[in-house]
């Protein structure tokens, strides 16, 4: 009986040790697995973010190039030298409409004097308006002068359409490269960029979502909840 009790105690002790060891192994393996899964998800998110960032950079660069090319047209430069010339206005207006027709999902395209008086526009009915005055005009002129070329104001809510648009302005210089003649402005609706970003979603990742925010202004740009777009975070 004494030996039997001893055997029972030894068996119980061994069983307890085995249970403890198995439990420890389970906890260690589980923690490692969770850590690996977490790191894998973080790596995946970082790769996804990199792809989205690259797409945004290439998209914006392409749109900026389109506006820059328009600003350097001899027709635009010649017209801004003589904005009162009716014949030059007609040629510039036709060129603006033709150039705009070749753009994808742009809200508008226009030529303006330095005081933001619009002298040619993709929408002829807008010709003649002045878009900025007072402090707003001074702020825009300062921003364009600082950019020394193309000034990208980012994605904003357009006062004309109340839609999110990429707002860009490009200073037009005379042949000396210093004398400011005026500027051109325009930009695409942001919907096209959002569609491109959405196209990066992987199949089967229906539960994945993202928000794009303006870190400087603290405003939503894109979000699955459309009511949040263009609102403060």
Instruction: Encode burial over 43-52: b for 16+ CB neighbours within 10 A, e otherwise.
Output: eeeeebeeee
| pLDDT band with cut points at 50, 70 and 90 for residue 12 | confident
**Cα–Cα distance for residue pair 98/124, rounded to 1 Å:** 12
The pLDDT of residue 54 is above 60:
yes
- Computed over every residue of the chain, the mean pLDDT equals 88
**Cα–Cα distance for residue pair 174/60, rounded to 1 Å:** 26
Domain architecture of the chain: domains with CATH: 1-200 (3.30.450.20)
Angle at 191 between CA 186 and CA 194, to 5 degrees: 120
Q: What is the DSSP string of 129-193?
A: -B---HHHHHHHHHHHHHHTSEEEEEEEE-TTTSSEEEEEEEEEE-TTSSSEEEEEEEEEBTHHH
- Cβ atoms of residues 144 and 171 within 8 Å: yes
- Cβ atoms of residues 193 and 203 within 8 Å: no
**Cα–Cα distance for residue pair 155/3, rounded to 1 Å:** 84
**Cα–Cα distance for residue pair 165/162, rounded to 1 Å:** 9
**Cα–Cα distance for residue pair 191/202, rounded to 1 Å:** 20
The pLDDT value given to residue 205 = 57
| pLDDT band with cut points at 50, 70 and 90 for residue 71 | very high
How many other CB atoms are there within 10 angstroms of residue 100's CB atom? 18
Share of the chain above pLDDT 70, in %: 95
Listed as own residue / partner, the contacts of 99-103 with beta carbons closer than 8 Å and 24 or more positions apart are 99/70, 99/73, 100/186, 103/66, 103/188
pLDDT digits (tens, 9 = 90+) for 104-133: 999 999 999 999 999 999 999 999 999 999
The pLDDT value given to residue 11 = 76
């Amino acid at each position: 009986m004494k030996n039997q009790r001893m055997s029972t105690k030894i068996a119980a002790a061994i069983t307890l040790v085995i249970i403890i060891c198995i439990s420890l192994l389970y906890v260690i393996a589980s923690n490692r697995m969770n850590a690996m899964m977490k790191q894998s998800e973080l790596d995946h998110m970082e790769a996804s973010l990199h792809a989205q960032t690259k797409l945004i950079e290439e998209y914006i660069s392409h749109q900026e190039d389109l506006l820059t090319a328009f600003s350097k047209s001899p027709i635009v430069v010649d017209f801004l030298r003589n904005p009162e010339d009716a014949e030059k206005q007609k040629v510039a207006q036709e060129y603006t409409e033709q150039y705009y027709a070749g753009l994808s999902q742009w809200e508008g395209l226009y030529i303006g004097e330095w005081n933001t008086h619009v002298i040619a526009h993709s929408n002829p009915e807008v010709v003649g308006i002045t878009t900025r005055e007072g402090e707003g005009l001074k702020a825009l002129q300062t921003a364009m002068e600082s950019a020394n070329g193309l000034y990208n104001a980012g994605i904003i809510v357009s006062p004309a359409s109340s839609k999110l648009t990429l707002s860009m302005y490009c200073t037009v210089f005379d042949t000396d490269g210093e004398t400011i003649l005026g500027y051109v402005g325009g930009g695409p609706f942001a919907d096209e960029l959002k569609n491109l970003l959405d196209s990066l979603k992987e199949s089967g990742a229906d539960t994945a979502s993202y928000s794009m925010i303006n870190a400087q202004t603290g405003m939503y740009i894109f979000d699955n909840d459309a009511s949040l777009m263009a609102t403060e975070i």
